[in-house]
A and B are shown apart, each in its own frame.
Chain A
Amino acid sequence: MSEQKTPRVATKMVPVQSHAIVPDRDADKSPVLECHHLGIDFGGLTAVNEFNLMIGRTEIAGLIGPNGAGKTTVFNLLTKVYQPTRGTILLDGNDTSKRTTAHINRAGIARTFQNIRLFANLSVEDNVKLGLHNHINYGMWGGVFRLPRYWHEEKTAHERAMELLSIFDMADLADAQAGSLPYGAQRRLEIVRALATNPSLLLLDEPAAGMNPSETAELMDNIVKIRDLFQIAVMLIEHDMNLVMGICEGICVLNFGEVIAKGSPAEIKSNPVVIEAYLGKKDKKEGA
């Protein structure tokens, strides 16, 4: 299960279709996510256009770009917070049009948020149990009348929640109120809650925002650990280039809503179009 514990080793990326690359170990498996010609307009403003992407089964993918490039909008499109104006999203090969956010989660995409969105008044354990919501099988009446099923399912949920929390060293915080946790722990709890929904693709929106270098290093280990342990794909938006270049296998660069580059970290680092998008054009020298 975890023989490929290879943090921060560059994976060889192989082309699988005209516009997509995935890690070579995922090449013979169907991709977890495919986007074709995805786009959304807000009024007259085109926020995202012609977004094509393919994510391998166990890939760690990065989505980067300058501020306002439309990265979070892409996440919101994938999770159907916004309905796309154009294009298709295939999750495990199934079309996701007309699905709601809750459907998408049940179909296998879990996410975290740029500004942390925990259930702040509930306990840490309850936050994780809410992630397990669709894996707990009893209805309202089972709960109100405390039927045997309630006790059984709640016990299983408690055990599973504690198991997930202990993977991230948070088991001792289980009874604390989520809103009272320190910042880093809140970020971790959001990831645990997302993992509890048993996703096949985890979307992390700026997971390292506001973290110091040692916390970021721990986060990088955790992300690789998640991929190895749960065998899922992870896609992250991040501005911390050490993190992105350190663990991402395929990187997609977005600027003004359009994909300007795709490739491995090494390719992206040396791509003049990307450098231009981030740093601007060099004076009187050949730019792109």
Chain B
Amino acid sequence: MKRMLSTKSGKQFLITFCAVVAAFVVMQAIAMAGAMSSMLKGQLVPICAYVVMALSLNLTVGILGELSLGHAGFMSVGAFLGTTTAVALQGAVPSPTLRLLCALVVGAVFAGVVGFLVGIPVLRLNGDYLAIVTLAFGEIIKSIFNNLYLGLDSHGFHLSLLDNKLHMEPDGKLIIGGPMGIGGIQKIASFPVGFALIVVCLVIIFNLVNSRAGRAIMALRDNRIAAESVGIPITKYKMMAFVTSAAMAGAAGALFALNFSTIVANKFDFNTSILVLVFVVLGGLGNMLGSIVAAAALTILPEALRQFASYRMLVYAIVLILVMLVRNNPAIQSFFSRFRFGKKGGVQE
């Protein structure tokens, strides 16, 4: 254990972990003291969800080295199926936290299964096909949920792609209402659970990266031909990373959806996918702490900029460009590298 934490990635994990815990404690303390603005309070759970999305996409883009342009699609699978689970369990499971956990697990499992199905044809190929197919997948899943009607009655679930064709018993309840999405959701998502989800995802990613499977995943990112030459089955490890990533996105979606009273498929469109990609690129590929900070900052920023009214998105874009410029400025980079832990050669045991 000591050895694990004395390595470079072990140190990064420790720093990231401490930063996340510290942020959580500070936020909880401010909220307890009643000094938190209602704007920020409302943003806490979405921040957690977007942080998990950023971590998830960073696994695909930064660790696996494949581009996914439809990550919001997996988020939407998790959101709709997770929320359905939460609604269906409303009577059976009284504890909202337990219901939330069930929703997260169901969302993650289904998003993982969908990720597997998307991966079967695509991950055998080399090149940018994953980007193209996930882009299409994001649109397809949006269309499906926009046209899906799901009801629950004493006989179980009723599914239809046509309005009013559910043939439900009179006691039936419409859960997913096509373009209306899911309405009247109980807001059971809470900040502590969101925080726990971030921690779980962090631990999974860091443990994965520092294991046999994670090494294989990074090896095929670095050099596919060499990875094959040492006997690593490419498709299997691509699939492993991609499905894990999709499952995390599903859990994030369920968390996100259960923070709002209504959720519609159009929320998880191409823009959301790109937004998450921006978090990852801004935070640095493979850099988990960077993704977390970028996701949190860029989720708060549009809300914080409300005072600029109609210039809001303009200011947002300018801030984004400035941050990118600063990040790539060699002078500023060398300034920050002075504070980095274990400078060159200092990371040995």
Give the B-binding residues of A (Cβ under 8 A): 79, 81, 100-103, 105-106, 110-111, 113, 117-122, 126, 129-131, 133-134, 136, 138-140, 142-146, 150, 153-154, 157, 175, 193-194, 196-197
Write out the residue numbers on chain B whose beta carbons fall within 8 Å of the beta carbon of A140.
208, 211, 213, 240
Question: Roughly how many angstroms separate A119 CA and B230 CA in the complex, as a whole number?
Answer: 11
At the interface, yes or no: B334 with Cβ under 8 Å from chain A?
no
A142 and chain B: residue at smallest CB distance: B211
Contact A133 B211 (CB under 8 A): no
Contact B213 A117 (CB under 8 A): no
Task: Rank and list the top 3 A-B pairs by shortest CB-CB distance, nearest first.
Answer: A143-B211, A105-B231, A117-B226
Task: Enumerate 25 A-B pairs (CB-CB under 8 Å) in ascending A order.
Answer: A81-B228, A102-B231, A102-B232, A105-B229, A111-B229, A113-B226, A117-B223, A117-B229, A118-B222, A118-B226, A119-B218, A122-B222, A126-B215, A129-B212, A129-B215, A130-B232, A134-B231, A139-B213, A140-B240, A143-B211, A143-B213, A143-B214, A144-B207, A193-B230, A194-B230
For B223, B231, B234, B240, which residue has the most chain A Cβ atoms within 10 angstroms?
Answer: B231
Within 8 A of A (CB), among B90-116: none
Write out the residue numbers on chain B whose beta carbons fall within 8 Å of the beta carbon of A103.
231
Write out the residue numbers on chain A whose beta carbons fall within 8 Å of the beta carbon of B225.
81, 113, 117
For B219, B227, B349, which residue has the most chain A Cβ atoms within 10 angstroms?
Answer: B219
Partner of B212, one of A81, A106, A136: A136
Partner of B215, one of A106, A122, A142, A150: A122
At the interface, yes or no: B18 with Cβ under 8 Å from chain A?
no
Contact B347 A175 (CB under 8 A): yes
Write out the residue numbers on chain A whose beta carbons fall within 8 Å of the beta carbon of B216.
130, 133
Contact A130 B214 (CB under 8 A): no
Question: Roughly how many angstroms separate A216 CA and B282 CA in the complex, as a whole number?
Answer: 46
At the interface, yes or no: B183 with Cβ under 8 Å from chain A?
no
A129 and chain B: residue at smallest CB distance: B215
Question: Roughly how many angstroms separate A126 CA and B7 CA in the complex, as a whole number?
Answer: 12
**Interface digits, B317-349 against A, CB 8 Å rule (1 contact, 0 not)?**
000000000000000000000000000000111
Number of residues in B with C-beta < 8 Å to the partner? 29
For B7, B207, B215, B232, which residue has the most chain A Cβ atoms within 10 angstroms?
Answer: B215
Contact A110 B230 (CB under 8 A): yes
Report how many A-B pairs have Cβ atoms within 8 Å: 99
Question: Roughly how many angstroms separate A157 CA and B228 CA in the complex, as a whole number?
Answer: 19
Question: Roughly how many angstroms separate A82 CA and B304 CA in the complex, as a whole number?
Answer: 57
Question: Roughly how many angstroms separate A273 CA and B74 CA in the complex, as a whole number?
Answer: 64
Write out the residue numbers on chain A whose beta carbons fall within 8 Å of the beta carbon of B212.
129, 133, 136, 138, 143, 153-154, 157
Within 8 A of A (CB), among B147-175: none
Partner of A118, one of B204, B215, B223, B234: B223
Given the interface contacts A139-B213, A140-B213, A143-B213, does A130 sit within 8 Å of B230 by beta carbon?
yes
Question: Roughly how many angstroms separate A127 CA and B158 CA in the complex, as a whole number?
Answer: 53
Write out the residue numbers on chain A whose beta carbons fall within 8 Å of the beta carbon of B204.
144
A193 and chain B: residue at smallest CB distance: B230
Contact A130 B219 (CB under 8 A): yes
Nearest Cβ distance between residue A177 and chain B, in whole angstroms? Answer: 10
A175 and chain B: residue at smallest CB distance: B348
At the interface, yes or no: B121 with Cβ under 8 Å from chain A?
no
Contact A101 B218 (CB under 8 A): no
Within 8 A of A (CB), among B1-55: 7
Given the interface contacts A144-B211, A146-B207, does A133 sit within 8 Å of B218 by beta carbon?
no
Given the interface contacts A105-B229, A133-B230, does A120 sit within 8 Å of B222 by beta carbon?
yes
Question: Roughly how many angstroms separate A113 CA and B225 CA in the complex, as a whole number?
Answer: 10
Write out the residue numbers on chain A whose beta carbons fall within 8 Å of the beta carbon of B218.
119, 121-122
Write out the residue numbers on chain B whose beta carbons fall within 8 Å of the beta carbon of A129.
212, 215
Nearest Cβ distance between residue B25 and chain A, in whole angstroms? Answer: 25
Contact B207 A143 (CB under 8 A): yes
Other contacts beyond A102-B234, A150-B211: 6, CB < 8 A:
A117-B225, A119-B223, A133-B230, A139-B213, A143-B211, A144-B208
Write out the residue numbers on chain A whose beta carbons fall within 8 Å of the beta carbon of B230.
105, 110, 130-131, 133, 193-194, 196-197
B229 and chain A: residue at smallest CB distance: A111
Nearest Cβ distance between residue A172 and chain B, in whole angstroms? Answer: 10
At the interface, yes or no: B233 with Cβ under 8 Å from chain A?
yes
Nearest Cβ distance between residue A182 and chain B, in whole angstroms? Answer: 16
Nearest Cβ distance between residue B144 and chain A, in whole angstroms? Answer: 30
Write out the residue numbers on chain A whose beta carbons fall within 8 Å of the beta carbon of B215.
122, 126, 129-130, 133
Nearest Cβ distance between residue A227 and chain B, in whole angstroms? Answer: 20
Question: Roughly how many angstroms separate A111 CA and B226 CA in the complex, as a whole number?
Answer: 9
Nearest Cβ distance between residue B66 and chain A, in whole angstroms? Answer: 16
**Interface digits, B176-200 against A, CB 8 Å rule (1 contact, 0 not)?**
0000000000000000000000000
Write out the residue numbers on chain A whose beta carbons fall within 8 Å of the beta carbon of B213.
139-140, 143
